[in-house]
Structure 1
């Protein structure tokens, strides 16, 4: 057995799965599948407040979520942290669809308002900006 004095880096492990294995398996459908997977993950939890949702995002996805702007139906959040920085410095086009889907579904649970999310990557600032858009006219009971 080979002895290695260096502790494993969990950021490298998570990034390897997210940025190498999943894109290879999911191909062109990666962003869509990961978005809906994020929504499904959020459905397996219950959030009584936005604070609980934020705590879960931090715990599950190893990052920090900060609201930077809001209007009546839109909310902008900056997603930062060591894993975000690692993925942005080691990948040309990492996907954050999983986090966006999770946040959209969690926000929808907390508010009861239909919500979807998109994101933009800011490599220079080492952050991802997630845009939540809520539609008060869509009934959640239509499905």
Structure 2
């Protein structure tokens, strides 16, 4: 692919309709009651395949994956809170009553775990009125 062709491909907005069909319709039907857990662990698997070095790369990955715009809201000695918003989040929230963000939660959990070097888990809260998703990550404290 030439540079011009690559620029043309990246300049066009790519439709996320196919991804939405798989993620919000087909996979939940196939996985049934295990959908949330499988998507969470799938997110962790993706984090192993696509490690990021720091928060800036994490934010960039979310944007490139069309998962939304990720921003850190707060951090303490035992965890961190991220907010994800943007057009893709708004669209998913408008198309499905309760879309799953377990894939993103699992991805965040392992990426942060690798950075803080402590076992980390993530939960999420959908804030439909504010058109955003909040991810709360907690890690284990060091035992002295």
Report if TM-score (shorter chain) is over 0.5. yes
From 10, 24, 28, the counterpart of 1:23: 28
Answer yes or no: is 1:50 the counterpart of 2:55: yes
Deviation per residue, 1:29-68 (Å, 9 max, x gap): 0000000000000001222212112211221243111111
Q: Is the 8 A contact 1:61 1:99 kept in 2?
A: no
Number of aligned residues: 132
Pick which of 15-24 and 46-55 moved more: 46-55
What's 1:67 paired with?
A: 72
Provide the TM-score with structure 2 as the length reference: 0.84
Q: Is the 8 A contact 2:67 2:104 kept in 1?
A: no
Structure 1 stretches of 5 or more lacking a match? 1-6, 139-143
Structure 2 stretches of 5 or more lacking a match? 1-11
- Find the aligned partners of 2:13 and 2:37 in 1 and give their Cα distance: 31
RMSD: 1.9
